[in-house]
Structure 1
Amino acid sequence: MAGECEANRRQMGGFAALRMDGTVESWGRQIGGNCLPMQLSQLKKVKSLCASDYAFAALKEDGTVVTWGNAASGGDSSWVKEQLQEVVDISSTSRAFAALTRDGHVVTWGDRDFGGDSRAVQTQLEQVTALCGSGSAFAALRKDRSVVTWGDPKAGGDSSLVEMQLQDVYQLHSNEKAFCAVLHSGGCVIWGDPLCGGRSWRVTWALKDVQQVASTAFAFAAILQNGQVVTWGEKHCGGDSSSVQHLLKEVQQVRGSRQAFAAIVAGGKVVTWGHPNAGGSCDYNVAQQLQNVHSVDALNVY
C-alpha cells in the first residue's frame, strides 16, 4: 500500500484506497466497504475520495463522480448524475454529500435530514467557492464572502441568528454540531449547538486576530496571531484548556482527535488537553520524548 492515500469514515465499516495510478480499491465488512463490479470499473482516473458514514464518493479527473455504499447515505447519486459534471470538490456530512462544480453551483444527495436536500436554498447556492460539512449540515462560502447553510438546524444548518455577521468570511470550519467562520478581520462567527461550540460567549472577547482553527467532535480551538490559544465547546472534548493555558504560548499548530487537542508550542514541545483516553494527556515518559516535533496529526475514530 506504499504511496497510496486512504480514506476512512466514522463507523470503521470500510476503507477506500486511492492508488497513485488513479484507481481505487475498497474493502471492509460493513456497508461502503465493497464496490459493485460496475462501479469498480468506473473507478479509474480518480482524483480524490470523500466519505460519509456509510458511503463513498470518488471525484474523477474529468469532473464526474462515482458513488457506492448505502444508498440512503449518499451511495446512490443516480438521481443527480446529470448535474455531477465539472465537479471540483466534494464535502460530506455523516449521511449526505455536496459537490461543488466549476461554475460555483452545488449539487447535493443523500439523507435530506443530513443536508442531502438543498432545494430550500438552491437559488442562493451560486458563485460558491468552498463547502464545509458538520455531522448533519452544510455551509457554503460564496464569492461575495457570505455564507449559506442547510441541513439539520441543530447542527448548524440554520445560521439565521448570525446571518448579518456572516460577511467578509475568510474560512469555514466545523465539528459534529457547529460551525466557525473566520472573518478577514480576524474575528469569528459561531453557530450551531450551543453546548458543542455553537456559542462562544465565554471567549468571544478573546477571538481576535484568529490565524487557525481546529476542532474535536464537540469543541473548537483557535490560534491567535500572538501565539495563544482560545478554546470553547464541550469541556471534556477539549473545550476547556484552562489546566494547560499557561503552557499554550507561541503555539504553532493545533490538531484535534475526537475528544482531545494537541498543540505544538515553541521549541517543538507538545501540549495536550481534553479526554485522557483520546490523547488529552500523556504520561511522563511520552511527554519527555515529545521534543523537536514539527507536526502532529490525529485519529478521528467515532
Structure 2
Amino acid sequence: MPEEILALTDIEDVMGNSAAFAARRTNGTLVAWGEGDSGGNADPVAPYTDIVRLCCSNLEAFVAQRVTGHLVAWGANTAGGTLPAEIEVLSDVIDVVSTSSAFAAVRRNGSVVAWGAERSGGTPPAEISELVNVAQVVGSSHAFAVLCQDGTVKAWGDTTVGGDTTPVASELVDIQALYANTHGFVALRRDGRVISWGDQAGGGDNSAVRDQIDTYVTYRATSASRGRALLGRQRQSVIAAN
C-alpha cells in the first residue's frame, strides 16, 4: 500500500476488484491504489469532494455516487470505467450492480440503464431499456437479469451464463427475488418453486435437487433483507436534501 494511503486516518469505506482497491474518505474524496488500468488510479475522480458512497466494482472499474445523485466511474474504459454522456447526467440512480466488465443501474422511475462491455451486458436491448417497472437487477459474470414489479423476469447478455430466459420463461412468473453467481441466476417464486437458468454445470440446472428445494425455500422480508432497500431510500433522502 502506498505511504500516502497508509497515512490517512479518515477512510470510511473500502472496495476492491481484481487488481485494485478504492476508498472513500470522510471529506467526500476518493483514493485508490493497485493496478492503475483497473481503477487503482483515482485521478479521474480526484476533483470530486462530495462522494457519499462507493457503489460497485467489476474486474477493472469502480462506480461511486455523489451527494447530487450523479454517478462517477473510473478504471478500464472497456469495462465501464467511463460513463456514457446519457448516464453521466442521471441523478436518480438507487442501485448499481456489475458483471465482470459492465455495470447496470436501477433508476427511481423503475427503468434500468447499463454500460461497459457489450459482451458482458453493457448494451441492453430495446425491450430492457423500455422497462419502467424494474424492482431489482442482479449480474452473473457476463449477463444481467431484472425482476419487474409484476413478478416477471427479463435478462440480457451472454446467453451461456443466463442472458436468455427462454428455457424457463414459462416458469418465471410471480417471482419474489433474484440471485446470481458467475454462471447463472436463481429466481424464487411465491409458491416456493426455485427456478434456475444459465450454465448447467455452474448451477443453471437444479433438476437434480429440485425435490429438496422446491417449497422448502421461502423469502421473508426480514429487517436484514430489507436493509439494502432501506439504505437506498435513505441515500435518496440525503441526496434530495442537498
Q: Do both share a fold (TM > 0.5)?
A: yes
In structure 1, what is the equivalent of residue 96 of structure 2? 90
- Higher-helix-fraction structure: 2
Alignment of 1:268-283 (within 5 A): none
Q: 1:55 to 1:24 in 2, by over 3 A?
A: same
Q: Distance in 2 between matches of 1:162 and 1:174?
A: 15
Q: 1:88 to 1:182 in 2, by over 3 A?
A: same
Q: Give the number of equivalent residue pairs.
A: 209
Kept in 2, the 8 Å contact 1:132–1:172? The answer is: yes
Counterpart of 2:15 (choices 4, 7, 10) is: 7
Q: 1:133 to 1:147 in 2, by over 3 A?
A: same
In structure 2, what is the equivalent of residue 235 of structure 1? none
Kept in 2, the 8 Å contact 1:137–1:157? The answer is: yes
Superposed CA offset, 1:204-230 (max 9, x none): 111123147xxxxxxxxxxxxxxxxxx
Alignment of 1:125-274 (within 5 A): 125-207=131-213, 208-211=215-218
Percent sequence identity over aligned pairs: 35
Q: Distance in 2 between matches of 1:123 and 1:204?
A: 33
Shift of 1:86: 0.7
Q: 1:148 to 1:174 in 2, by over 3 A?
A: same
Alignment of 1:64-83 (within 5 A): 64-82=70-88
What letter is aligned with 1:92? S
Kept in 1, the 8 Å contact 2:63–2:73? The answer is: yes
Shift of 1:40: 1.6
TM-score, normalised on structure 2?
0.80
Shift of 1:124: 5.0
Q: Distance in 2 between matches of 1:30 and 1:65?
A: 20
Gaps (5+ residues) in structure 1?
Answer: 213-302
What letter is aligned with 2:135? T
Superposed CA offset, 1:82-141 (max 9, x none): 553311110100000001110011111000010000024335532101110000000111
Kept in 2, the 8 Å contact 1:146–1:168? The answer is: yes
Counterpart of 1:54 (choices 44, 52, 60) is: 60
Q: Secondary structure at the match of 1:103?
A: coil
Shift of 1:21: 4.5
Q: 1:45 to 1:123 in 2, by over 3 A?
A: closer
Q: 1:142 to 1:21 in 2, by over 3 A?
A: farther
In structure 2, what is the equivalent of residue 34 of structure 1? 41
* Structure with bigger RCO (C-alpha 8 Å, 6+ apart): 2
Kept in 2, the 8 Å contact 1:80–1:107? The answer is: no
Gaps (5+ residues) in structure 2?
Answer: 1-8, 220-242
In structure 2, what is the equivalent of residue 272 of structure 1? none
Shift of 1:43: 5.2
**Greater shift after overlay, 95-104 or 181-190?**
181-190
Q: Distance in 1 between matches of 2:143 and 2:86?
A: 19
Structure index of larger Rg: 1
Superposed CA offset, 1:158-183 (max 9, x none): 01111111111111111101100111
